[in-house]
Chain A
Amino acid sequence: MATTADGMKIQQGRRSFGKLSGPSLTMIRLPLSFLLLTAIGVQPLQDPEPVGFPVLAGYEYKEGMTLPKEVTNLNEKVVEIRGFMRREFAGSGPVNSFMLINDACGCMGTPMMNEIVFCTLPDGVTMELLTGVVTVTGKLYVGEVKEDGDVILIYAMDADTVTAS
C-alpha cells in the first residue's frame, strides 16, 4: 500500500495505477508512443484535452442518430476525463477494462449509453478499481460500435493513465 503525494491511498506503489499485475505502463507505453510519433513524425506529443461528461452526455442519445459535432470532434483525440470507475461486470480483483461514468454510486439508475466511456488498458496491464473521482487520460474513439446488431458502446478509450483525483 502506498500513498500518493496528491491522491488517496491506493493499492500499489504507483501513482497512476492501483495494482499492476502486468507490465509497467509508464515504462513501456510512453517510450513506445514516443518512438511511434518520432518515427512517423506526424504530431508532437500533445497535452490531453480536458473533456467533461456535460459534453459527452449533454444530449439525448438515440440509436442510429448523428452524434453532435461537439463529441464527434473529439474522435481520436487524446483527452482527459474525470469520472468514477465501475466494473463492466460485477466482481472483484484487478481489471483490464472498466467503465468510466459520471455517478459515484451505482444506485442512481442505469447510465445511458452516452454517459459511459468504455476504457481499456494496454494488453496485459490490469489494475484495481480506484474509489472516488479519477482522471483517465488516453485516446478517445467516438461512434456507435455494434455487436450482433446491437449498439454496445459509443465512447471508447485507450486509457494511458488513471489517476486518483
Chain B
Amino acid sequence: MRLLLLAVVAVPAIAFWPTDPQDPDQVDWAQHVRKACESRRFGIRLAAAKRVANGGDAAIPAIAAYAKDKGQNAIPSSLVDAIADANVYEPKVTALLTTWAKDQTFYWRSSAMRGLALRAGATSNQIERETWGKLFHAYTDDPAWLMRTHARFGAELAGQPNPNQAPERDPRARVRLARLLLDYGKVPSLQPLIDGLADERTFLGIPWGARLGQESSKALNRWLAADFPELTGGNTLESTAAILAAAEKKSGQSLTMPKLQRDPEHGITGGFEIASCKFGDQFVQWSADGTVRFGIDGSRTVKLPADKWQELSQQQTAIALDANAGVVVCDKLQMVLLDAKTRVDIAPESLPTAASDWLKRLAQSLEEANETETAATLRRGLGQFEGR
C-alpha cells in the first residue's frame, strides 16, 4: 500500500523534475553557437566553442543553421579548431567536417581537414581506412600548405600515405607535419624539426624561421620530456646540437646537424605576400636589379629583362599604398616597399586599381620572360584581391 502511495506521488514529481542540464539534446545549442561566433571576448568564444564541440552530433543542427543564416565564413576558426580537436567521433560531426574540408571557399577548411585526419587515425577498419585514404589523397598536393599538410597527416594516420604526392618545398609544412605526427605519438623523421631549430630566416621582416624554431623546440621538448637538455640559450647551434643528441638517442635515428639558416644578402627592396587559406600562400620579393624571388625562402628566382624591370620600377608608386584596405578575416595581401616604408594589408576585393594594374604588369612581364606557370599562379592568387 505504501509502495503504491509512493508511486502515485512520485510519478508526477519525476515527470516535472528538471532535465539533466548536461543532456546534449536539451541544451540550447543555438545560444552556445552564437556565443562561440559572436562574443567580443576571444576567451569567451573559445570556451563556448569547446562546449559546442563537445556537444557532438547534438550541436550540429545549430551550427548548420547559424552558417545558413550568417554565411559559412561567419564560423570562426576557433570553433572549427575546437570541433577538429574534440574527442567526439560522431557521424554528423564527421559529415560537417567533410563538407567544410571540401569547400574551397571556406576559410578554415584546413582545420576541418585536421579534424578528419584525427578521426581517420581512430579507426582500425581497413575498408574505412581506404575510404579515408582516397579523401586525403585528393588534397595531399593542395596549394594551401596547411590543407595539404593535414591531408598528408590524415593519410599517414590512416596508413594510406600517397606515394605520388610531390616533395614538400615549404619549410613550414615540413615542420608542421613532423610536429603533428610526433604529438600524435607516431615518431616521424625528426630531421625537419632539427632543421627548424636552426632557422632564422625572414620574409620582408617577418621572422618565420624563428617561429619554426619555436614550434620545433616545443614539439621536441614535449616528446623528449625529462630527456630534453638543459639549454643555456644565446647560441642557436649549441642548443640545436644538444637537442639533436637527445633526439638521436631516444629515436635511434641518425640526424644531421643543420647549418644556421639566415637571410642571404640579396638587396631586397620590396615584395608582397599573399596569405590565403583558400588558394595557398605566395611569397614574392624583388631586388633593385630586377631579380624576382618566389617562395617563403626565396629559393626560386627569375631575372626580368632590364627594360621591363626599369619600367616597373618607375611605376612603383602605384603600389606604395599608405593605408590598409578592407577587413581581413583570413586571406590577405601584404604589400611591402622598404624604401617607401610601406607595409599594408589588403583584404579580398579591396586592392586599389592602380596597384592591381601594377601587379598585373608584373605577371605579364613574368609571362613574357617565359614564366607562364608562375604568371598564371600569381594571377590566380591576386584575383580575389581586385577591387569590385
Q: Most chain-B CB neighbours within 10 Å: which of A3, A58, A132?
A: A132
A9 in the interface (beta carbon within 8 A): yes
A13–chain B nearest beta-carbon distance, Å: 13
Pairwise interchain contact B47-A104, C-beta atoms closer than 8 A: no
B42 in the interface (beta carbon within 8 A): yes
How many of A's residues come within 8 Å of B, CB to CB? Answer: 44
The 29 listed contacts between A and B (C-beta, < 8 Å) are: A3-B341, A7-B341, A8-B341, A8-B343, A9-B340, A9-B343, A11-B323, A57-B218, A58-B214, A88-B40, A90-B327, A99-B42, A102-B211, A102-B214, A103-B211, A104-B206, A107-B330, A108-B146, A109-B146, A110-B46, A110-B78, A128-B324, A129-B324, A132-B336, A147-B41, A148-B44, A151-B47, A152-B41, A152-B46
Bound: A107/B42 CA distance, A: 16
A window 118-135: CB within 8 A of B: 118, 128-129, 131-133
A116 in the interface (beta carbon within 8 A): yes
B window 204-223: CB within 8 A of A: 205-208, 211, 214, 217-218, 221-222
B344 in the interface (beta carbon within 8 A): yes
Q: Most chain-B CB neighbours within 10 Å: which of A91, A106, A147, A148?
A: A106
Q: Given the interface contacts A1-B322, A88-B42, A147-B43, does A53 sit within 8 Å of B275 by beta carbon? A: no
Pairwise interchain contact A132-B206, C-beta atoms closer than 8 A: yes
**Which 9 A-B pairs give the minimum distances between C-beta atoms?**
A152-B43, A150-B47, A8-B343, A110-B81, A105-B275, A1-B322, A110-B78, A9-B341, A107-B277
B359–chain A nearest beta-carbon distance, Å: 18
Q: Please give 13 more A-B residue pairs, beta carbons under 8 A apart, in addition to A58-B214, A89-B40.
A: A11-B323, A92-B327, A99-B42, A106-B330, A107-B281, A110-B111, A131-B324, A131-B334, A131-B343, A132-B206, A147-B44, A152-B44, A152-B47
B297 in the interface (beta carbon within 8 A): no
Q: Given the interface contacts A4-B341, A107-B277, A132-B205, does A113 sit within 8 Å of B43 by beta carbon? A: yes
Bound: A89/B40 CA distance, A: 6
B195 in the interface (beta carbon within 8 A): no
**Closest B residue, CB atoms, query A9:** B341
